[in-house]
Structure 1
C-alpha cells in the first residue's frame, strides 16, 4: 500500500501531459533517423547516411551527454542548415519536436565543433599535380581555355544588423552581409573560402590579403585561376580584357572566359540551394555566421568528394602580372 499513492500521483501527472508532448519526449530518445530511404535522407539532411555517420563519429568525442541523442541533435543542425528556417522546419519537425531555445543551444554546441573538425579535412587549397592536370584538361575540353584549374569569386550572405560596427557590414545593395570569398575547382569543390569580411569590403581587397592568394601564388606552377573584372590581372589570375573590340582575339578570349565562369556560378548556386540558410538572413552575430558558412562549404565538399585528401607542394615563378600569358592564350584561341 505504501507504493499506491506515489504511483497514483505519477499516473495523474502523466495523464495531465498532452499526448503530443509525450510523443515528442519519446521521439527525442528513441527515434531512429535512419529509418527512411536513402533518397529522402539526402533530401532531408543534405548528406547521405554514410557521411552522416562519419561526421557523427568525428564530433562525438567533443559532445556532452544529453537527454536528446547525439544523432538527433546532429540531424536537427543539418535540418536547419538545409532549410534555414527555425520555426517551421526544425522546431515543428515530427522527428524531434523542440523549442527554439533548445535549438539555439544545440546550434551553439555543434556549429563550432563542426567548424573546427570538418573544415580542416574537407576544404584544402593544396592541389596535387594529378588534380591540376585533371582540372586543366576539363577546362580545356569544356571551355577551350588552357592551364586553368580553378575559379575565384565572391558572394554575399545576409546577416542581421550587428550590434557593433554595423556600418561595415552594410553592403552596396543596402543589406547587412558577410562578403564570402570562394575558390572552386572544375568539379565545383570549394578549395578555399573566407567568410570573415563584412559586406562593405570589396572582392579585390579581400583577395589581396587572403591566405589563399598567398598560397596559390607559389603552388600553381604555370596554371591559372579565373576571376571576373572585380579582380586585378595577376601572374596566376586570368581576368577579362577591358573594352575588347568585336572581332579581336581579346574579344574571343572574353567570350570563352565568360563561358568558363559558369563553373563558379553553378558552384554558388548548388551551395545555396542545398543549404537554404545561406539564402535567408542568418540571425546571429557575424563570427557565428562565419562558422555556419564554413560548415556549409565543408558539407558541400563532403557530398561532392567524400574521400579527397590532398598534400602536395609545388613551386612557381611568375612574371609581368600574367599579361604575356593572357595574350598568348588569347591569341591561340
Structure 2
C-alpha cells in the first residue's frame, strides 16, 4: 500500500510540473518581405504600416514581460487576420505566436484603430463637399451629389442572445452595415451596429447622418436604391418610369450608385475576414468591421489600393427590398431633377 502511495505521488509530481517555456523565433515582416509581398500578405506596404503604427502606437503599451510581442508584431498579427479571416491558430502558426496571443492582438489593435476613426471616416463639408459634387458630375452627370448609400451583410456566428434578430432576409446570421461612399470609393459614413434582420430604411432613419440632413447641415443629396424612401436629400429610382426623362434619370442614378457596390467589393476583397464568417460576438464583430473601413480609407489616402471591382449596371434588385414610403418633397424634387437634367 505504501509503495502504491509513493508511486502515485511521483506521478502527480510528474504531471503537475510546469511545462518548459518555448521561445519562438519571430521574424519581422518588414525585413523578411518586399513591399509587394507585404501588400499580398497584409494589404499594406511598408510606408503605410509605419504610418499606421505611428497613429496608434501611443495606445499600445510595451510589456515588461520577457520576450513580449512588440507593437509592430501585434499590428502584423491583426492585419494578417483582417487580410485572411483565418482561424487564430493558423495565424499564430504562421507568425510563431500562440492562438490566445492572436486573439488579444486583434482586440487590442482594433481598439487602438477605432480611436482614430474621426480622422478617416469624415462626411464631406464646405470645400470637400464641393469637390465631391464635381467628382460625381464627372462620373454620370448627376447633380449636387454628396455620396451613395447602401447596406451590406457581414456574416457572423449565431449569437447566444437575441439570435433571431440576426437572421437576415437571405437566411443567415449577419450584421446589416450601412455605409456611404464618395466618388473615390472612400467611405464617409459607417453604421455597423444593427443586426441583419433590420431593414435598410430603418437603419437610415435612425442614423445620425439622416438627422444631420433633416436639420439642413448638408447642402446636397445622397443616392440610394428603392429600399430607401425618396426624400429631398435622398434620391431613389423610379419604380415605373413613364417618360424618357425618367428612364435617363434611372440610368444615371444606376451608373452613379454602382460606386457603393464597387466600394463594398474592394473592401471585402482587401479584408477577407468580411467575406467569410466573423467567429466572434456581435459587439466585437462591429469593431472589426469599422476598423477595416478605417484601414480601407487609410489605404486610399496613402496610395495602397486594390483594383476596382466592376459591377453590372443593369436593373435594380427590387425583389430584395421593401419599397419605402416616399415623401411629397422628395418626389417633387426627383421630378424636377429628371425634367431639368435628363429631359
Give TM class, smaller chain.
0.7 to 0.9
2:206 is the alignment partner of 1:209: yes
Q: What's 2:252 paired with?
A: 256
User: Normalised by the size of structure 1, how large is the TM-score?
Assistant: 0.83
Q: Residue 323 of structure 1: which of 315, 331, 341 is its match?
A: 331
Deviations 1:20-74 (A, max 9, x none): x66xx121xxx32212222222222222322222221232232233411211110
Give unpaired runs (5+ residues) of structure 2.
1-18, 304-326
What SS does the corresponding residue of 1:92 show, helix, strand or coil? helix
User: Normalised by the size of structure 2, how large is the TM-score?
Assistant: 0.80
Q: What's 1:265 paired with?
A: 261
Distance 1:216 1:187 in 2: 22
Q: For residue 163 of structure 1, report the CA deviation from its aligned partner.
A: 0.8
Q: Residue 278 of structure 1: which of 262, 274, 278 is its match?
A: 274
Q: What's 1:72 paired with?
A: 73
What SS does the corresponding residue of 2:278 show, helix, strand or coil? coil
2:187 is the alignment partner of 1:190: yes
Structure 1 residues 299 and 210: alpha-carbon distance in aligned structure 2, compared to 1, 3 A threshold: same
Q: For residue 275 of structure 1, report the CA deviation from its aligned partner.
A: 0.4
**Deviating more after overlay: 202-211 vs 65-74:** 65-74
Correspondence list, 1:52-67, <5 A: 52-66=49-63, 67=68
Give unpaired runs (5+ residues) of structure 1.
1-15, 308-318
CA-atom RMSD, angstroms?
Answer: 2.2
Q: What's 1:103 paired with?
A: 102
Q: What's 2:286 paired with?
A: 290
Correspondence list, 1:102-121, <5 A: 102-115=101-114, 117-121=115-119
Distance 2:129 2:192 in 1: 25
What SS does the corresponding residue of 1:305 show, helix, strand or coil? helix
Distance 1:162 1:256 in 2: 41
Task: Decide whether the 8 Å contact of 1:238 with 1:322 is kept in 2.
Answer: yes
Deviations 1:219-247 (A, max 9, x none): 322x21100000001111110012113x5
What SS does the corresponding residue of 1:151 show, helix, strand or coil? strand
Task: Decide whether the 8 Å contact of 1:159 with 1:284 is kept in 2.
Answer: yes
Task: Decide whether the 8 Å contact of 1:91 with 1:99 is kept in 2.
Answer: yes
Distance 2:247 2:299 in 1: 37
Distance 1:89 1:185 in 2: 36
Distance 1:111 1:33 in 2: 20
Correspondence list, 1:25-104, <5 A: 25-27=24-26, 31-35=27-31, 36-66=33-63, 67-87=68-88, 90-93=91-94, 96-104=95-103
Q: For residue 256 of structure 1, report the CA deviation from its aligned partner.
A: 1.4
Correspondence list, 1:127-206, <5 A: 127-206=124-203
What SS does the corresponding residue of 2:152 show, helix, strand or coil? strand
Q: For residue 87 of structure 1, report the CA deviation from its aligned partner.
A: 5.0
Q: For residue 114 of structure 1, report the CA deviation from its aligned partner.
A: 1.7
- Hey, which bits of structure 1, 4+ residues long, moved more than 6 A? none
Correspondence list, 1:290-309, <5 A: 290-306=286-302
Distance 1:58 1:133 in 2: 29
Task: Decide whether the 8 Å contact of 2:125 with 2:218 is kept in 1.
Answer: no
